A and B are shown apart, each in its own frame.
Chain A
Amino acid sequence: MAGHAHHEESFVSKYIFSQDHKMISKQFLMTAVFMGIIAVMLSVFFRLQLGWPGESFAILETFLGKWAPGGVLDRNAYLALVTIHGTIMVFFVLTGGLSGTFSNLLIPLQIGARDMASGFLNMLSYWFFAVSSVIMIFSLFVEGGAASGGWTVYPPLSALPQAMPGSGLGMTLWLISMTLFVVSSLLGGLNYIVTVINLRTKGMSMTRLPLTIWAFMVTAILGVLSFPVLVSAVVLLLMDRSMGTAFYLSDIFIGGEALDVTGGSPILYQHLFWFLGHPEVYIVLLPALGISSEIIATNSRKPIFGYKAMVGSILGIGFLSFIVWGHHMFVTGMNPFLGSVFVFTTLLIAIPSAVKAFNYITTLWQGNLRFTPAMLFSIGLVSTFVTGGLTGIILADSALDVNVHDTYFVVAHFHIVMGMSAIFGMLAGVYHWFPKMFGRMMNTKLGYVHFWTTLVAGYGVFFPMHFVGLAGAPRRYYDYSNFEYLDFVMDLQPIISTFAIIGAVGQLPFLWNFFYSIFRGQVATENPWKGNTLEWTTPVEHIHGNWPGALPEVHRWAYDYSNPDFEEDFVPQTVPLKAGETEH
């Protein structure tokens, strides 16, 4: 097998159309970092307007040109920025970026496989992702601007070009980009599932899988089952836009004309969208939870507490996530009894989530905690997961949702529980597996600076938003100064915007650290964190096929940290059981 690693490769086959999962993983990561920078910049732009409404900022005119005449953000441009910020963050950074990077990197390495089941499909998955990213970015520059109806693009607003400038060409490109994105996601997801099921090395039973792999696999299953529904929703919307169908349209009078549409339902789109949309939340979150489980166990030098309960929680959350979508639609006029059912299923999810949170905390208890930046971000994730999850209890309660639906309370909730948690998981993963990806270490001190600014800025932005929302401030407003009853919370807006700017600037140490360390970082050893999992048995220099000799054989679970039977505080999975030792 050694020869396998040493055949010559051209630049193109090594760096561009690579079929090696490690290279594809890096491609996903680089694209996600690029998309993330753009999405953060968009959010700073609209936060400037929200913090100091109507004031002129030269930077806006520099970057946005005619979208910000005189440095004041245009109203339609504001909606476009909000929409594209959400779209990029949810789909391109936290779905494509997170799963694409870490499922690709870790699935073969942690289950002991030479590569993905199909390297070719894996490559296609990346290139569909890349093309859809390019189209999404391109849509920012077309006549009329990018899609502006919010990241959920509800029709009829998104179906009727007369309704707003952003429902023109920008919207069409959005739909095309999302279709390609779904293709990418399906190709990737199928590959991940098949690989985990079929290519585990000898001894790697399902109950010995690291929690990362469980999380990635369940995520992939969710994606494969729910993304096709989004494609249906998107294709029907495209047809309503360009072929005169009326799946989502009925009884509409707009632009001085009564449209020839009857019998469609705008609510149908919402059902289809959220049938993907809610599992999507967990598609974003589960990989982050998997990553943090692994990192917290490794750096606590303790087994993850309640491995079986953790696996059960992942499966439970995955299943439940399919039957809760209606909680996004309590105020659409949905039958109240149906609403009650969704209240019940939604609040059920709190149980496996609570189990996970308590298990994390117990894992820390009496550990021997090593504070690497990855560990800090993982602990931060547990904090945001709990803080954001708790407000979900309010929103899941249909009666309470009535008055906070579509307010800043919702914005605060999902940014903390899904945005911050998932980003923390992703950053933790980058710090932790950077030596595996690039063969070098990242700077720890800069990592600390990065963590603390991100944590403080993140809470600084989103915690006050709860109060803005409870006071009854709707989201996606361009300006709140026309509402006297909101005046007393609006002095929070400049504070929120200031923290948003601090948070954005706080990513610069990370970017510097990341790119500098790729080339100049301290050279990594094979197992820098003293981890048990198989990826730390591969050579630092990447080779095709991952292991130079035979595939490793697995004899134990991934969490034998500080096992009293052993001198060292870690026992790699490849170490055979001692005589008389019972497996956990």
Chain B
Amino acid sequence: MVAFYASFVWLIIRYGDYNPPAASAHGEDYDTLMNFNMYIIIAVFFLVNTALFVFANKYRQDPGRKARFFAHDNRLELIWTVIPSIVLAVIIIYGLRTWNEMTGEPADDALRVELYSKQFDWTARYAGADGEFGLANYNLITPTNPLGIVTADGVADALAEIQGQIDALEAELAHERGHLLAQIEEVEVELHADDHHGHGHGDHGGDHHGMSDERKAMLEARLHELEHMLEGSDVLVLSEAAQEAKEDKVHRLKRHRQRIMEVKPFDYEGGVASWEAGADDKITKGEFHLPVGREVEFVFRSRDVIHSAYMPHFRAQMNTVPGVPTRFKMTPTITTDSMRTVLNDPDFDYILLCNKVCGAAHFNMQMKVVVESEEQYNAWLESQEEFLADKEEAVETDARAEAAGNANNESATL
């Protein structure tokens, strides 16, 4: 028992100072509330476990003694119903007050930053010079537009991309060996039927006039073309299932194309909004910056599965849910540099990580957060490229990220 307590106390002392100071305004309230609750539960923990242990030792069996027949006592029971109720009432009221502050409306001048999650990395988006986020639509996601931001270019690119895929697949299917053979057979059957016209087909009446020469020439040309294709080097041999899968894919791509064509930038108040609000948005990967002392409202979106944006130093967390944007606001209060001084650790960095299991590389889905002065922040934002400013580079960055993602994904199959 003593050893037990000693080890608990050692743990509490050694690891009880669990975190560096909170680096956000609500984080300080959070820590105060946490400590308040902790004192209560640690006290009750020792009280109850001690009582258990002491009673267990003191009232060991003695054959000569009879236990006290003590079946109930309303006063006692009332006491330990009412006292916990009062303590809990305090905990609830205090907790909800903090909760309301944390989840209240953000200030009008709050900086808005979008955090976008996918397997297995994060992207941050800033509104750009116009201070307005472009709308986003998952149908527009392409290598050059990883967030699916709605712009005229974005729609055109997505359409071109999808059309390219459809054309490629249709070309492949057209050169499929079985498909070619079937077509050849069809043409041959028709030609053949014409040869035998009048022999034993007497029952289809007078409406059959045989094949025109034009049609016949056309069929023969087609036959020739098909046979030529069959001998070509790009003939594919596909199993029935593979062929079906490709046809299915074409079908899905065409539906996707339809959905892209239906994309319009829409604004509930002003009808059709500007197509270009998104064009100057800024997108960053690997790290994102925040100005100190200014409230920031995060808007979270997810591309594939549920992730969770967790920033332990700021006592901040919110799930990112595909199809359902979520929000969280906070005010960073300590710059990265100050925190490095406080912790006496020149390598310290704030971090954003994923806290909802999302696949093989879940454990390494992180992004650096830099908190700095307003001027430094502005300079940094200035230096970031506008969205679509340099497509080539965007493709490159994304390809590198994809490669990293694939490396993360790849893993011995179970």
A121-129, A209-217, A221-229, A384-392 - the one binding chain B: A384-392
Residues from chain B with a CB closer than 8 A to the CB of A406 are: 308, 310, 317, 355-356
Give 1 or 0 for each of A337-377: 1 = CB within 8 Å of chain B CB.
00110011001101100110111011011111111000000
Q: What per-residue 1/0 map shows which CB atoms of A547-578 lie under 8 Å from chain B?
A: 00000000000010111100001000000000
Quick check: which of B11-19, B285-293, B385-393 contacts chain A, the rest being far away?
Answer: B11-19
A149 within 8 Å of B (CB atoms):
yes
Assess the A300–B364 pair: CB atoms within 8 A: no
Contact partners of B11 in chain A: CB under 8 A? 463-464, 467
Q: Which of B119, B324, B358 lies in contact with A267, CB distance below 8 A? A: B324
Known: A258-B256, A405-B355. Is A362-B70 also a contact (CB below 8 A)?
yes
Is B322 interfacial (CB-CB < 8 Å)?
yes
Evaluate whether A569 and B77 lie within 8 angstroms (CB atoms) in the complex, with A308-B72, A459-B4 already known: no
Are A77's CB and B414's CB within 8 A?
Answer: yes
* Contact A393–B312 (Cβ < 8 Å): no
**What are the residues of chain A within 8 A of B324 when measuring CB–CB?**
250, 265-267, 333
Query: Chain A nearest CB: distance from B55 CB in Å?
Result: 4
Contacts A301-B67, A399-B33; A470 near B19 (Cβ below 8 A): yes
In A100-136, the 8 Å CB interface with B consists of none
Bound-state Cα–Cα, A397 to B99, Å: 8
Chain B residues, Cβ within 8 Å of A308: 72
Which of the segments B85-93, B125-133, B214-222, B237-245 contacts the partner chain? B85-93
Q: How distant is B120 from chain A, measured CB to nearest CB, in Å?
A: 11
B58-66, B173-181, B193-201, B376-384 - interface stretch: B58-66
Q: Are B67 and A562 in contact (CB under 8 A)?
A: yes
Which of B8, B59, B119, B310 is in CB contact (< 8 Å) with A369?
B59
CB contacts (< 8 Å) of B30 on chain A: these are: 399-400, 402-403
Stretch at the interface among A8-16, A419-427, A478-486, A532-540: A478-486
Chain A residue numbers with a CB within 8 Å of B319 are 331-333
B367 at the interface (CB under 8 A from A): no
Point out the residue from B4, B7, B252, B322 that lies within 8 Å of A251, measured CB to CB: B322
| Residues 296-312 of chain B, each 1 if its beta carbon lies under 8 Å from chain A, else 0 | 00001001111010101
> Which residues of A from 293 to 341 have beta carbons under 8 Å from B?
300-303, 305-309, 331-333, 336, 339-340
Write out the residue numbers on chain B whose beta carbons fall within 8 Å of the beta carbon of A472: 18-19, 310, 312-313
Give the contacts of A118-172 with B (CB-CB under 8 A).
143-146, 149-150, 154, 156-157, 160, 163-166, 170
Q: Give A456-479 interface residues, CB cut-off 8 Å to B.
A: 456, 459, 463-464, 467, 470-472, 474, 476-479
Asked if A252 contacts B360 (CB within 8 A), the reply is: no
**Nearest A residue (CB) for B89:** A347
Given A157-B305, A405-B317, check contact A302 B91 (CB 8 Å). no
How far, in whole Å, are A332 and B307 apart by their CA atoms in the complex? 10
Task: Name the CB-closest residue of A to B347.
Answer: A484
Q: How far is the CB of A576 from chain B (nearest CB, A)?
A: 19
Interface residue stretch chosen among B41-49, B107-115, B264-272? B41-49
Is A62 interfacial (CB 8 A cutoff)?
Answer: no
- Does the CB pair B85–A351 fall under 8 Å? yes
| Distance, CA A258 to CA B325, complexed state (A) | 18
Beta-carbon contact of B66 and A368 below 8 Å? yes
Known A163-B119, A387-B45, A399-B99: A347·B91 in contact at CB below 8 Å: yes
CB pair B411 A250 closer than 8 Å: no
| Interface: A414 (CB within 8 A) | no
Inter-chain contact A562/B306, CB cutoff 8 Å: no
Task: Tell me whether A257 is interfacial, beta carbon within 8 Å.
Answer: yes
Query: Which residues of B lie under 8 Å from residue A355 when comparing CB positions?
Result: 77, 80-81, 84
A331 touches B308 (CB 8 A): yes
Per the bound structure, the CA–CA distance linking A463 and B15 in Å amounts to: 12
Count contacts on B: residues with CB < 8 A to the other chain: 105
With contacts A154-B306, A369-B60 taken as known, whether A343 is within 8 angstroms of B99 at the C-beta atoms is: yes
B-binding segment of A40-48, A67-75, A184-192: A67-75
A498 CB to closest chain B CB, in angstroms? 13
Note all chain A residues with C-beta closer than 8 A to B305. 156-157, 160, 163, 254
**Which chain B residues lie closer than 8 Å to A36 at the CB level?**
none
Closest beta carbon of chain A to B398's beta carbon, Å = 12
Q: Is the CB of B19 within 8 A of A76?
A: no
Shortest A10–chain B CB gap in Å is 42
A407 on the B face (CB < 8 A)? yes
Partner of A264, one of B59, B102, B323, B326: B323
Please pick, from A80, A263, A371, A471, the residue contacting B19 in the complex, using a CB distance under 8 A: A471
User: Counting CB contacts under 8 A, is A520 at the interface?
Assistant: no
* A443 beta carbon closer than 8 Å to chain B: no
Q: How far is the CA of A69 from the CA of B413 in the complex (A)?
A: 11
- Select B103's contact among A307, A336, A347, A474, beta carbons within 8 Å: A336
- In the complex, whether A527 has a CB less than 8 A from a CB of chain B is no
Q: How far is the CA of A336 from the CA of B325 in the complex (A)?
A: 15
Q: Are B313 and A309 touching (Cβ within 8 A)?
A: no
Q: Which of A249, A386, A492 contacts B15 (CB 8 A)?
A: A492
- B259 CB-CB contact with A under 8 Å: yes
B56 nearest in chain A by CB position: A379
B86 to chain A, nearest CB (A): 10
Task: Give CA–CA (A386, B255) in the complex, Å.
Answer: 57
Are the CB atoms of A301 and B66 closer together than 8 Å?
yes
Q: Is the CB–CB distance between A157 and B306 below 8 Å?
A: yes
Assembly CA distance A578 to B23 (angstroms): 71
Residue-wise, chain A 260-297 has the 8 Å CB interface mask toward B (1 for contact) of 10111111000000000000000000000000000000
Is A266 touching B323 in the complex (CB atoms < 8 A)? yes
Enumerate chain A residues within 8 angstroms of B56, measured Cβ to Cβ.
364, 369, 371, 379
Q: How far is the CA of A154 from the CA of B52 in the complex (A)?
A: 40
Distance between Cα atoms of A165 and B119 in the complex (Å): 14
Please tell me if A382 contacts chain B, counting CB pairs below 8 Å: yes
Question: A365: which of B16, B55, B360 is its contact (CB, 8 Å)?
Answer: B55
Question: Smallest Cβ distance from B287 to chain A, in angstroms?
Answer: 15
A79 at the interface (CB under 8 A from B): yes
8 A-B pairs with the lowest CB-CB distances in the bound complex, closest first: A145-B414, A250-B323, A472-B312, A333-B326, A467-B15, A336-B103, A470-B18, A477-B363
18 contacts between A and B (CB under 8 A): A76-B413, A143-B413, A144-B414, A160-B305, A163-B304, A252-B138, A266-B322, A300-B67, A306-B71, A332-B321, A355-B81, A355-B84, A369-B59, A394-B38, A470-B15, A471-B18, A479-B364, A561-B69
Q: Tell me the A residues contacting B by CB distance below 8 Å.
A: 66-67, 69, 74-77, 79-80, 143-146, 149-150, 154, 156-157, 160, 163-166, 170, 249-254, 257-258, 260, 262-267, 300-303, 305-309, 331-333, 336, 339-340, 343-344, 347-348, 350-351, 354-355, 357-359, 361-362, 364-371, 379, 382-383, 386-387, 390-391, 393-394, 397-400, 402-403, 405-407, 456, 459, 463-464, 467, 470-472, 474, 476-480, 482-485, 488-489, 492, 559, 561-564, 569, 584
Knowing that A309-B77, A331-B318 touch, tell me 13 more A-B residue pairs with CB under 8 angstroms.
Answer: A146-B414, A165-B414, A166-B414, A258-B259, A260-B255, A266-B323, A305-B71, A306-B73, A347-B91, A386-B44, A400-B95, A472-B313, A477-B363
